[in-house]
């Protein structure tokens, strides 16, 4: 994981480091792994959260449809795919929303989409 962070563009390092810190704080009992070339957080061997620094944006993967549905109002207006919240500018990451999504994910197991 540290190698992943070390390879990030300098402009993205603080935001991605903060994402990792939030995940590690809020996802107690999850295991931090590298999956598909990106940091992921597993519960019982199943990834529920991941994030990645990609060419055009920083992606936050929320693989729980129940959590996405519960946060539909707060996610409205964000660049959101089926399970991927995208931030083109690291300065626009809504860390309060991310924290709340992580807390909701950690609260109860759920079905992965």
pLDDT digits (tens, 9 = 90+) for 28-70: 999 999 998 999 999 999 999 999 999 999 999 999 999 999 9
The pLDDT-based confidence of 4 (bands split at 50, 70, 90) is confident
The whole-number pLDDT of residue 6 equals 84
Residue 30's CATH number: 3.90.1150.200
Q: Is residue 110 part of a domain?
A: no
Strands 58-62 vs 46-53: parallel, antiparallel or unpaired: antiparallel
Q: Please indicate, yes or no, if residue 29 is contained in any of the structural domains.
A: yes
Please state the domain count of the chain: 1
Q: Is residue 113 part of a domain?
A: no
Domain contains 38: yes
Average pLDDT over residues 89-96: 95
Q: What integer best gives the mean pLDDT of the chain? A: 93
* Sign, Cα dihedral of 48, 52, 56, 57: positive
d(CA 12, CA 105): 25
Its domain, for residue 98, covers: 2-105
Look at residue 75 and tell me if it is in a domain.
Answer: yes
Report CA-CA distances (Å) from 6 to 11, 14, 31, 81, 105.
Answer: 12, 11, 20, 27, 27
Q: What is the pLDDT of residue 20?
A: 96
Residue 1: pLDDT above 80?
no
Per-residue pLDDT averaged across 13-42, rounded?
96
């Amino acid at each position: 994981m540290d190698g992943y962070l070390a390879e990030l563009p300098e402009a993205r390092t603080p935001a991605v480091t903060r994402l990792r810190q939030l995940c590690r704080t809020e996802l107690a009992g999850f295991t931090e792994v590298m999956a598909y070339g990106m940091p992921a957080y597993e519960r019982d061997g199943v990834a529920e959260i991941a994030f990645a620094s990609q060419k055009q944006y920083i992606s936050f993967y929320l693989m729980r449809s129940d959590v996405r549905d519960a946060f539909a109002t707060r996610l409205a207006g964000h660049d959101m795919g089926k399970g991927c919240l995208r931030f083109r500018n690291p300065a626009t990451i809504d860390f309060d929303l991310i924290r709340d999504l992580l807390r909701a994910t950690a609260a109860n197991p759920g079905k992965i989409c």
